Amino acid sequence: MQEEIHKCIEVLLDGGLIVYPTDTLWGIGCDATNEAAVAKVFALKKRDLSKKMSCLVAHEFMLEKHVKQVPEVAYDLIDLATKPTTIVYDQPVGMAQNLVSPNQTIAIRVASDKFCQYLIAKFKRPLVATSANLSGAPAPRNFKEISAAILKGVDYVVNLPEEKKLATPSSIIQLKNDGTVKIIRE
């Protein structure tokens, strides 16, 4: 696993794209603080720029570094969630502007997958986490379903055995700084 993490970090530091297993689906990733890298993901997926993508952080400390104010209820949601949960936060800090929605929000999930946690902690920056499919196509339920166009369009594909992947997207909950909570996807 260390060799895979090292290869990923080399690619990510160079502004490249990876395909990697997340705690939900196989995803396309890049440095979430690098606007040019994020633009490459939009182009590869043929994704409309208005449809934002989520990010992964390694732990709560990294989350606090990239969101101006983490609502207290977020910590409970992170700790008590029974499946991966992405939270939409107000006022991101230090993230690529093309990841930030016009209303100044960003979707972030604290990774629960060990590989993701190690990779992101070692990289020391959040990663984009969007499903490894062209926009409008079904999300791949396993590695074999990732299209050749996606695999050819990235700079590195993580070579790890596919184990107990959930093959389902995360829940998405929006937490506004004013206390409003909105379930976007269960």
Burial of 175 (0-12, 13-18, 19+ CB in 10 A): buried
CA distance 126 to 94: 10
Q: What is the pLDDT of residue 179?
A: 81
**Cα–Cα distance list, 173 to 74, 113, 160, 180 (Å):** 10, 20, 30, 10
Which DSSP helix (H) or strand (E) runs through 13?
helix 2-13
Side chain identity, residue 79:
D
CA distance 91 to 82: 26
* Count of all residues that appear for the chain in the document: 186
Provide mean pLDDT across the span 163-177: 75
Strand partners, 109: 56
With contact defined as beta carbons under 8 Å apart, do 165 and 25 qualify? yes
Choose between 44 and 22: higher pLDDT: 44
Per-residue confidence band for 180, with pLDDT thresholds at 50, 70 and 90: confident
Q: What is the pLDDT of residue 127?
A: 98
Q: H helices within 67-178, ranges in order?
A: 72-80, 114-123, 148-153
Give one DSSP letter per residue of 62-75, joined into a string: HHHHHBS---HHHH
Per-residue confidence band for 124, with pLDDT thresholds at 50, 70 and 90: very high
Pick left, alpha or beta for residue 94 (phi over 0 → left; psi -120 to 50 → alpha; otherwise beta).
left
97-102, long-range: CB < 8 A, 24+ apart: 97/35, 98/35, 98/38, 98/39, 98/42, 98/49, 99/32, 99/38, 99/52, 99/53, 99/55, 99/128, 100/52, 101/52
85-113 pLDDT tens trace: 999 999 999 999 999 999 999 999 999 98
State CA 51 to chain mean position distance. Answer: 14
- The proportion of the chain whose per-residue pLDDT surpasses 70, expressed as a percent, equals 96
Mean pLDDT of the chain: 92
Q: What is the pLDDT of residue 161?
A: 66
In the predicted structure, residue 184 carries a pLDDT above the cut 60: yes
In the predicted structure, residue 129 carries a pLDDT above the cut 90: yes
In the predicted structure, residue 165 carries a pLDDT above the cut 60: no
Whether the CA torsion 16, 21, 22, 24 is positive or negative: it is positive
